[in-house]
Structure 1
Amino acid sequence: MTGTKKQQWNSNFAFMMAMIGSAVGLGNIWRFPYILYSNGGGSFMIPYIVSLFLLGISFVLVEYAVGYKFKRSLARILFSISKKLEPVAWFILLIVFLITTYYVCVVGWDLIYLILSFTKAWGTNPDLFFANNVLQATDSISGIFNIVPIVIGATFAIWFMAWFILKRDLNDGIGRVTKTLIPLLALIVVGIVLFSLTLPGASAGYSQIFTPDWSALANTDVWLAAFGQIVFSLSLGMAIAMTYASYLPEETKLVDNALIVAFSNSGIEVFNSIGIFSILGFMTVTSGIPFNELVTEGTGLAFVVFPQVFNTMGSAAYIIGPLFFLCILFAGITSIIALLEGVCYSISEKFLIERKKTATAVCLVGFLISIIFTTGIGSTILGVFDAYLNNFALLFAVLLECIIFGWIYKFDDLIETLNKNTTIKVGKLWKTVIKYILPVCIVFLWIQGVWTTVKSADSLSATIMIILTVVLIVVPIIFAKLPAINKDYYNV
C-alpha cells in the first residue's frame, strides 16, 4: 500500500471470502426480512432478482473492471481519468468513513448483547432495557455530554479489532480473517435456520415468504425498495469491490467471481430470512402477538424483538441467542474492515504512509468520531447520520460513479478487461445498463431518499445534515489539494 510494493491476494478464495464478507453485513440479517415482508412477500423476489441483475451485478462488474485494470486506489484512479475528479474520490471515501463510524457503534451494541445472551440479562422487558440500560437514551441535547461506559467500551473493542486486522499484511489480516469468519458465519446461519424450522409455529412465519402479493408488483415503491436493498446489501458505490479487485493477480476471471459473490450474498439473505421468519412465527404462536407487530428492521429486530423471542424459547435460547448475536458480529466485522480498506489504501498511496500507521490513524480518528454515538443522545444522532448518508450522499456517489465510468471514461476498455479471462462475456447490453438504465433508477431512488430524509427532519436533524454537507464538500477538496508525497501518484 505504500507504492513501493503492490500487494496481491495469495488465492482467489481469499478474494472471494473478502468480497462476500464485505457484502454480507447487517443489511442481510435484519434489513432484508423486513423489506421482503413489507413489499409483497414472495412476489418481492421478482423485482429483487431483476434488481440483482440489472443494478447489483452490473455495477459490481464496473467496480471489478476499474479496480483490476488500474490496480490503484480510488483517489488515484479518478485522478488518472481527470485531475478534476480527485475530489469526487475523497467525497466517496469520506462518506464510507463516516458510515463506518456509526456502523462500528451498532456492532458494538451487538457485542454487548452477545455477552448478555448467555444469561438473558435483558430481563422481561427488552424494549425498556435497550433504551434505558444499554443506550441510556435521551431526547435532550444535553445528552451529548453523557458518555455511556458500556457502549463506549464495546465501540472501542470493535475499533481495536478492526485496527488489529487492518494493520497487518493484506493476506495475514483481511485474507486470513475473512477465510475463517465467512465459512463460520455460513455454518451458524445454516444451524439457526435448521433449528428454527423445528420450532412450533415456524410455518406461520416462513409461509410469509412463499405467499406472494402479486398486486405489489404494480407499486413503483416496491421496485424502488428492491433497488435500494441491492445497493445497501452489495455495498455499491463504496469502492470496496474496486479496492479488493485492485489486489487481484493477472488471469483472474472477473465476471465469474462477480456472479458468485452476488449470488452468495443474495442466497444468504434469502436463506437467513427463512430462519428469521420461522422464529418470528414461533413467537406469534406462543405469545399471540400478531406477526406484523413483530416484523421490524434494524435495531428493533435485533435488540428488542429477538430478546423477546429468546425469553419464550426456554433453554434452547442459551445456544441460539449467542449464535444469533455472533452471526451479526462476524458479519459486522468483515464489513467494517472492507469499508476501511479503501480509505486506508487511498491515504497510503498518496502520502506514502505505511499500512500500520495509516490503519492506526484512520481507526483513531474513527473512534473519536464514534464517541458521539456512545452518548445519551447518540442513538438519535446515529439515526440522522444513517438517513442522510445512505439516502442522500451514498446514492449520489453511485450516480457520480455511473456518470464517470459510463460517460467520461472509455467504457469499451472496461468491456475488454472483463472479457479477457472469463467464460461469461459482457457487451452492449451491459453498456446500455450502465450508461442509461442504471442512472435513471438511481435518480429515482435518490429523489425518493432525499424527500424522505427532508420530510422527516426536525431542527436537530437539519442542523446535523447541514454540518455533514459542509464537511462532505470541504474535506474532499482539502485532501485533493494536498500535494502527494508519492511522486508516482501523478503518473497518469
Structure 2
Amino acid sequence: MTTQTQSREVWSGQYGFILAAVGSAIGLGNIWRFPGVAYTNGGGAFLVPYLIALLTAGIPILLLDYALGHRYRGSAPAVFRRLNKNFEIVGWFMVLVSLVIMSYYAVILAWALRYMFFSVDMAWGADTMSFFAGEFLQVSEPGFNSDIVPGVFWPLIAVWGGAAIVIALGIQKGLERASKFFIPLLVVIFGVLVIRALFLDGASAGLNAFFTPQWSALADPQVWIAAYSQIFFSLSVAFGIMLTYSSYLKKKTDITSTGLVTGFANSSFEILAGIGVFATLGYMATQRGVGVNEIEGITGPILSFVTFPEVISLMPGGPLFGIVFFASLTIAGFTSLISLIQVVSAAIQEKFGINRRFGALLATGIAGSASVLLFSTSNGLNALDVVDKFINEIGIVSAAILMTLLVAFALRKLPRLRQHLNYYSSVKIGRWWDVLVGIVSPAVLAFILVLTIQSLVSDGYGGYPESFIYQYGWFMVIGVIFGAAILTFIPWRTNVDEYDADEYHQIDGPGLAEQAKARKAGNLPTAERSES
C-alpha cells in the first residue's frame, strides 16, 4: 500500500461529505434552469420523466462515480489509470471539462454578487434588459475582443480569491467547513424567499402554470431528452466531481445511502426552486395583467438578471427580496464552484507531485485567467452562452458515455463495483444496476448526443455567426480532447501505479486480499493482475 494512499485526506464523516456533495449538486442550474425546463416540457407532467431519469440514470451513475472514487482513491486521471493505463485520457477529459465549466461558472457568480449590491437601491431601473446587457455587461457583437468590463472583473477576482482560499485549506478545514456553513444557510434563506413568494398576489397562478400537467407532452421524445439532460447537469455526475469527492471518504462508508440522500436532496431543492420562481412569476403576471405563459425569460441568465430584477422593482420590500435572492444564487454557485476546482486541483497535485496549496493556486490561476480573458470582456455573455452549450451538451454527455461503456464492457468492472458498493451499505443494489449503468444510460445519452450534434451542425446555435460557433464551441471541445491527450503523455511524478484496490480495501470476498499480496510478491503472473 502506498504512502500517498495512507496519508490521503478524508472527510471527517458522512455528514460533511453529504453536505459537500449536495453543495456541489445544488447550483445555478437548480434555480434558473429547472423551473423553465419543467414549464416548457409539460409542466407537472415533466416530473414523471424527470423522476424516471433520476432513478434510471442520475442516481445509478452517481453511484458509479462514488464506487470508482472510493475504490480507487484518486483524482479522475488516477482512477482511470488504475483501472487501465490506456484509459487515463478519460480522466483528463473530465478534468478539462470541469476546468472550462468553472472558468465561466465563476463569472456568473460575479454577476450574482454584483446584483446583490444592485438590489439595495434597485440600480437596474425600469429597463432591466438594457441595464443587464448594456450598462452592466456592455455586450458587443459576437467576436473576440479584449475590452475588460470593470463591473465584472473586480467581483470575479473576489470570487476566485475566496474559492482559492477554501481549496487551499483542504478537505476538512476548507471544503467541509464551507459546506457545513453555506448549505444550511442556503436552505434557510432560500426557504425564506419561497415563503415570501407564496404570499404574493397571483402566486397561485404561477404555481398552476408550473404544476398543471400537459400529459400529451409525455409522447414527445424531446421532453424525455430534456429530463435526462437536466438530471445530468444538476447532479454533477460524469465529469469528475463526485468521483473526486468520494475518493476522500473513509474506508467503512455507507456509499449507497449517501448517494440516495444526495440525489433526492438535489431534486427536492430543484422542485423548491420551481415553487419559489413560479410563485414570483405569478405575481409579475398579475401586476402586468397577463398570463404567466406570456412572460418571456423564465430560464437561464435572463430569469435571474432580467426577469427577477423587474419583479423586485414591482413588489413591496423588493430590495430585501433581491438581496436574499442573489445571496442564494451566490451561495449555491460558490459551493458548486469549489467542487469543480477540487477536481482540477486534485488531478494536478497527484500528477505533478505538488502540495495542496500550490495545486489550488495553480488550478484557480489557470481557470481565473481564462475567466478574465474570455468571459469578463464585452463579448463575455456571447462566449459564455456558446461554450456552456457545447461543453455541457457534448463534453459532459460524451464523458458519461465513455465512462459507462469502458467500465461495463471494456473492463467488465460493474459486478466488482456493485460488490464494493454493497459491502458497507445498508441499502443493497442488485444486477438491475449493471443494466441501468451499462445499457440504459449510455443508450439514452448516445441518443441525446447524436440529436444535439445533428442540430448544431445543421441549424447552428442561437443565431450566432458560424465562425463564432466554431471558435467558442467546436474548437473548445477539440481543445479539451487534445489537452487531455497531452496531459496523459506527461509522466507521473507520484507512485500512482503502486496502489492496489484489493489490498487496500480487503472487502471484495475471500481470497482476494491474499491474491493481492501474492501479486505484489511476484507469485502470480502479471496477466492475472486485475486492478493495475
Calculate the TM-score normalised by the size of structure 2. 0.90
**Structure 1 spans left out of the alignment, 5+ residues:** none
* SS at 1:34 equivalent: helix
AA aligned opposite 1:473: I
Q: Distance in 2 between matches of 1:4 and 1:363?
A: 27
Question: What does residue range 362-373 of structure 1 map to in structure 2 within 5 Å?
Answer: 362-371=363-372, 372-373=374-375
Structure 1 Cα separation of the partners of residues 325 and 106 of structure 2: 18
Is 1:158 aligned to 2:159, yes or no? yes
Instruction: Give 1:278-357 correspondences, 5 Å limit.
Output: 278-292=279-293, 293-314=295-316, 316-357=317-358
The 1:140/1:442 distance shift into structure 2, 3 A limit, reads: closer
Please tell me the residue identity of whatever aligns with 1:483: P
| Residue of structure 2 equivalent to 1:191 | 192
Paired residue for 1:476, among 484, 500, 515? 484
| Structure-1 separation of matches of 2:362 and 2:31 | 31
Q: Deviations over 1:4-59 (max 9, x none)?
A: 72100012111000000000000100000001100111111100110010011110
Q: Once the 2 structures are TM-superposed, how far is the Cα of residue 490 of structure 1 from its aligned partner?
A: 5.5
> Which of 457, 460, 484 in structure 2 is aligned with 1:456?
460
Is the contact between residue 193 and residue 271 of structure 1 (CA under 8 Å) also seen in structure 2? yes
Report if the CA contact (8 A) 1:2-1:355 is conserved: no
How far does residue 252 in structure 1 lie from its aligned partner after superposition? 1.0
Q: Does 1:361 align with 2:357?
A: no
| 1:244-269 deviation line (CA, Å, top 9, x unaligned) | 11111122111111111111000010
Over 3 Å counting, the alpha-carbon distance change for 1:419 and 1:58 in structure 2 is same
Q: Answer whether contact 2:78 2:496 (CA < 8 A) is retained.
A: no
Aligned with 2:384: secondary structure?
helix
**What are the superposed Cα offsets for residues 348-381 of structure 1, whole Å, 9 maximum, x if unpaired?**
1121100100110111111111111111111111
Measure, in 1, the Cα distance between the counterparts of 2:298 and 2:473: 26
**How far off is 1:2 after superposition?**
6.6
Deviations 1:106-155 (A, max 9, x none): 1111111011011111111110000111110010536x121101111111
2:425 paired with 1:422: yes
Q: CA deviation at 1:462?
A: 1.7
1:182-217 CA distances to partner (integer Å, 9 max, x unpaired)?
A: 001011121111111111111000112331111111
1:26 is matched with which residue? 28
SS in 2 for 1:236: coil
Paired amino acid for 2:488: A
Unaligned runs of 5+ in 2: 500-531
Cα distance, 1:87 vs. partner?
1.4
Counterpart-to-counterpart distance in 2, 1:463 and 1:54: 36
Amino acid at match of 1:266: S
**Residue aligning to 2:257:** 256
183-192 vs 467-476, greater mean Cα deviation: 467-476
Distance 2:476 2:47 in 1: 35
Match of 2:68 in 1: 66
Q: Which residue of 1 aligns with 2:114?
A: 112
Question: Residues 478 and 4 of structure 1: is their aligned pair in 2 closer, same or farther, counting only changes over 3 Å?
Answer: farther
SS at match of 1:138: coil
Q: Say which is worse superposed, 246-255 or 42-51, in terms of deviation.
A: 246-255
Matches within 5 A, 1:83-162: 83-139=85-141, 141=143, 144-162=145-163
Answer whether contact 2:91 2:240 (CA < 8 A) is retained.
no
Contact 2:209 2:292 in 1 (8 A): no
1:378-437 CA-partner distances (Å, limit 9, x unpaired): 111111111111111111111001112222232111111111111211111111111111
**Structure showing greater relative contact order (alpha-carbon pairs closer than 8 Å, 6 or more residues apart):** 1
**Corresponding residue of 1:5:** 7
- Read off the aligned partner of 2:487 and give its amino acid letter: F
CA–CA separation in structure 1 for the residues paired with 2:415 and 2:104:
38
- Matches of 2:158 and 2:348 in 1, distance apart? 24
Contact 1:87 1:477 (C-alpha < 8 Å) held by counterparts:
yes
Residues in 2 aligned to 1:204 and 1:97: alpha-carbon distance in whole angstroms: 41
Structure 2 residue identity aligned to 1:123: G
1:224 aligned partner: 225
Give distance in 1, aligned partners of 2:280 and 2:62: 33
The corresponding residue for 1:277 is 278
User: For the residues of structure 2 that align with 1:208 and 1:295, how far apart are their CA atoms?
Assistant: 15
| Residues 234-290 of structure 1, C-alpha deviations (whole Å, 9 max, x = no match) | 012111111111111122111111111111000010012111100100010012243
Counterpart for residue 174 of structure 2: 173
Q: How far is the alpha carbon of 1:347 from its aligned partner?
A: 1.2
- 2: CA distance between counterparts of 1:68 and 1:3? 12
C-alpha distance in structure 1 between counterparts of 2:473 and 2:39, whole Å: 30
CA distance in 1, matches of 2:108, 2:177: 24
May I ask how many residue pairs the two structures share in their alignment? 490
Compare 421-430 and 21-30 and name the one that shifted more.
421-430
Q: Which amino acid aligns with 2:54?
A: L
Higher mean C-alpha deviation, range 53-62 or range 419-428: 419-428
CA distance in 2, matches of 1:140, 1:398: 31
Using the TM superposition, give the Cα deviation of residue 291 of structure 1 relative to its aligned residue in structure 2, in angstroms.
1.4
